[in-house]
Amino acid sequence: MPTPANHLTATDAAALMREGRLTASDLAEACLARIAEREPERKAWAHVSPNQVRAQAAACDANPSSGLLHGIPIGVKDVLDTRDMPTQMGSPIYAGHQPPADAAIVSLLRAAGAVILGKTVTAEFAGMAPAPTTNPLALHRTPGGSSSGSAAAVADLMVPISLGTQTGGSVLRPASYCGVVGFKPSYGRINRAGTKFAAESLDTLGWMARSVQDIALVDAALTGNDAPLSASTATPVSTLRIGVCQTYLWDAKALPETRQALQTAVEALEAAGVTVTPVALPERFGHLSVVRETLNDYERARGLASEWTHHRDRISPQLSASIERGWRIPHADLLAAQRYAEDRRRDFDDLMDDWDVLLVPCVNGEAPEGLHYAGDPSLQALWTLLHTPALGLPTHRGPNGMPVSIQLVTARHRDAELLKAGDAIWRTVLQFSPRP
């Protein structure tokens, strides 16, 4: 029995379509059937219209050469505008809201041939309030957030690729909790027109998939210049200069499974002949978390000023608390935070002259139980503030069998190198310690 089409990675599905062995309509139907079957318990989607999906897929099948993502279904986090689907932002304030244009990223994906499968559930305005989505690997655990629907949908084989946004840890954390690959590009790599801002100096568009090749395929479609990865183009892992950095949050945040995930990765790389060198960030990096909080709260209050003025009764207590903190922050603190962030970004870029990749913890540990709390963003948020590219790879399993990712980062604008290195590192680590 052949693999059901919704189990395929985008890269494999694209190859089958190029060979005429799979149609966009077949793939769309397989995804729609999976959603119909599993969505009632998963709650990953804010909007799916099967007829719209079928029309897009049929258009692809009628025009068999529309781009790198020809016929590939993609889920779009519901804080990104779509001109033909409501964009509700996880907020009752925007119930039924229909924007007039697609977000830039959605337009670019459509131009590359993608089928927009629907809108995925987001926490309210990409914040910290609980969303209904469950973790497909354990329904009583959080899938993480705020891109909860995007992570759950990819993990549950409903769609091969989904878009997210990260202001703290909203792509990398849910990707880890659900066991998929998560990617946050460098700040400024992907145009954000048509994104509902949470905190604009931090908000970064990212995406999730079930392989690094798929992550690179989307990056290639969006940037047009980097060839997708394949086994033959992969960087030999032994040529990489890899550092490992616990970060200053290690003692406070890293649970045993996270320590083990990092340790296992180091052992796998050393077994493959790589010297992995411990790197300590200088003391002055010790304020990244508090500075990110300042920017986050200050900017969220202003970004949602209109909603706060006119619809305060429909804003959750969690978001209200963040906004109220934001209004209390003096502007001088914003300036100090902006200066600190700019200085550390430069410092980190300089530091990475000596390394290709830094291996860092991705999450505190496994997805917590319950849906009331989407988990701690601290370990992802360091890199959001630094504007670096960050790749999360689910290489490990914790004591409850839930996935735990490692995180790879590098200097700003070195995204293409990071993806190549990440592909090689993932292959190496998985070979060393196959997932159960």
Residues designated catalytic: 77, 146, 170
Residue 123 in tokens: 């926490």
Q: Is 113 an interacting residue with respect to its own copies (CB under 8 A)?
A: no
Q: Which two tokens stand for residue 139?
A: 């329904």
Q: What tokens appear for 360 in the block?
A: 């860092």
How many other CB atoms are there within 10 angstroms of residue 345's CB atom?
17
The minimum distance between CB 396 and its own copies, in angstroms, equals 32
- Choice between 111 and 271, CB closer to its own copies: 111
Of 100 and 317, nearer to its own copies (C-beta) is 100
Rounded Cα distance, 423 and 436, in Å: 20
Query: Is 223 near its own copies (CB under 8 A)?
Result: yes
Entry field: residues in the chain: 436
Of the residues 101, 227, 252, 280, which one makes contact with its own copies according to CB under 8 A: 101
Q: Which listed residue (3, 233, 239, 306) binds its own copies by CB under 8 A?
A: 306
CB of 279 to its own copies, least distance (A): 23
By the rule CB under 8 A, 346 interacts with its own copies: yes
Binding mask 80-99 for its own copies (x = CB under 8 A): ---x----------x--x--
Q: What is the torsional sign of CA 351, 352, 355, 358? A: positive
Q: For the window 191-220, what string marks contact with its own copies as x by the rule CB under 8 A?
A: xxxx--x--xx-------------------
Pick between residue 49 and residue 107 the one whose CB is nearest to its own copies.
Answer: 107
Query: CB of 273: closest distance to its own copies in angstroms?
Result: 31
CA distances from 198 to 8, 127, 176, 296, 410 (A): 33, 7, 22, 8, 24
Question: What does the alpha-carbon distance between residue 282 and residue 46 come to, in Å, rounded to a whole number?
Answer: 43
Compute CA 31 distance to the chain's CA centroid, rounded to the nearest angstrom. Answer: 20
Q: CB–CB of 26/8 below 8 Å? A: no
Of residues 398-427, those binding its own copies (CB under 8 A) = 412-413
Which residue in 124, 257, 307, 376 binds its own copies (CB under 8 A)?
Answer: 307
Instruction: Name the segment binding its own copies (CB under 8 A); options: 11-19, 127-135, 243-251, 300-308.
Output: 300-308
| 227 part of the interface to its own copies, by CB under 8 A | no
Check if the beta carbon of residue 170 is closer than 8 Å to that of residue 377. Answer: yes
Say if CB 402 and CB 139 are below 8 A apart: no
Q: Which is nearer to its own copies, 38 or 287 (CB)?
A: 287
Stretch that binds its own copies, among 102-110, 112-120, 156-164, 241-249 (CB under 8 A): 102-110
Count of other CB atoms within 10 angstroms of residue 259: 15
Of 36, 111, 252, 321, which lies in the binding site for its own copies, with binding defined by CB under 8 A? 111
CB 67 within 8 A of CB 90: no
For strands 181-184 and 390-397, give the pairing.
antiparallel
Site for its own copies in 258-297 (CB under 8 A): none
> Which has the closest alpha carbon to 176: 8, 393, 15?
393
Strand residue runs (E) in 155-209: 161-166, 181-184, 204-209
Tokens of 258: 């996270």
Q: Which lies closer to its own copies via its Cβ, residue 225 or residue 232?
A: 225
Q: How many residues bind its own copies (CB under 8 A)?
A: 45
Compare residues 24 and 103 and give the one whose CB is closer to its own copies. 103
> What is the binding site for its own copies (CB under 8 A)?
83, 94, 97, 100-104, 106-108, 110-111, 188, 191-194, 197, 200-201, 223-226, 299, 302-310, 330-332, 335, 338-339, 342, 346, 412-413
